Amino acid sequence: MSDIDLSVDFAGLRLQTPIVLLSGCVGFGDEYTRIEGYSHEHVGAVILKGTTLEPRLGNPPHRIYETPAGMLNAIGLQNPGARYVVDHILPLLPHEKTQFWANANGTTPEEYAEVARIFDDSPVTAIEINISCPNVKAGGIHFGNDPEMAARVVEAMRPMTSKPLITKLSPNNADIAKTARHVIEAGSDGLSVINTLVGMAVDVDKRTPIIANVSAGLSGPAIKPVALWKLHQCRAVASKHGIPILGQGGICSARDAIEFAITGADAIGLGTGLFFDPLLCPKVLEGLRSYLERHGFGSYAELVGSLAS
């Protein structure tokens, strides 16, 4: 039995592993976890599907399209609303087996604040703030690309909850480190780096956009180099303030996860990779454990931020 410690401390929370299942990729925590072979012991936290104050139907189809080494999605935050999630979905989840985090969305700082207030009185252990949803016309792009507006969202949410706030940053940002600094100073307890890139696809026969929303979020292996660079840019700011980072963007193997850890990811986010390999979690953990043993590390935490200059 290995003595390697794969647990991590993240924003005051103790996660049993560094793996976090990302919002939008595992539904509300029940859909994906029914897969045969899935075990909660492999996962430090599950982030629920993006939730708004009021119910949303989302965008019209087509909403998903596979691209070379990636996927475009423009679901448009389809969800039943924060109050429904708290009253009807959260009570059914196995909170004793792993942690569940909310993912808060809104079109104004006030809406974000109200979502935080609703989730504050619930079993979720943290709230991820989605200020950078690229496929929602109202709010998402504006907040995520404007450091001051991003900070206003965090400032509005901070008094509404005692739970850790983790701000999800956009790669479609001219200065992601500046936005990181602003949201940390506004009260963010952690960062998620990165959200999807903005992209599109074209039907050459019809000469029309394939995605009904025209633009969509690009995820998957294609964005990994960008994600690593943005993580590297944010690491110095986060370290200065003692703020952890959930690294994400194209992680589909243990090697990918190791690259993110070395670059500065205190936890590892798995998303699109789960669509083509639903049992990715135990494979990543085993690969991490093996790497740490071979290189003389006693824990995952020792590997984080070990990138040589």
What is the set of active-site residues? 133
Q: Please list, in sequence order, all residues whose beta carbon lies within 8 angstroms of the beta carbon of residue 262, skipping any fewer than 6 positions away.
A: 303, 304, 305, 306, 307
User: Are the C-beta atoms of 250 and 289 separated by less than 8 Å?
Assistant: no
CA distance linking residue 201 with residue 141, whole number of Å: 19
DSSP assigned state of 278: T
Q: How many CB atoms lie within 10 A of CB 37?
A: 9
CA distance linking residue 7 with residue 19, whole number of Å: 9
DSSP assigned state of 51: B
Q: Please list, in sequence order, all residues whose beta carbon lies within 8 angstroms of the beta carbon of residue 80, skipping any fewer than 6 positions away.
A: 55, 88, 89
Q: Please list, in sequence order, all residues whose beta carbon lies within 8 angstroms of the beta carbon of residue 3, skipping any fewer than 6 positions away.
A: 298
- Find where tokens 């976090």 sit: 20
Q: Is the peptide bond before 251 cis (omega within 30 degrees of 0)?
A: no
CA distance linking residue 281 with residue 253, whole number of Å: 9
User: Are the C-beta atoms of 192 and 168 separated by less than 8 Å?
Assistant: yes
Q: CA 54, 167, 228: angle at the middle one, nearest 5?
A: 130
Q: Is the peptide bond before 62 cis (omega within 30 degrees of 0)?
A: yes
DSSP assigned state of 158: G
Element (H, E) at 216: strand 216-219
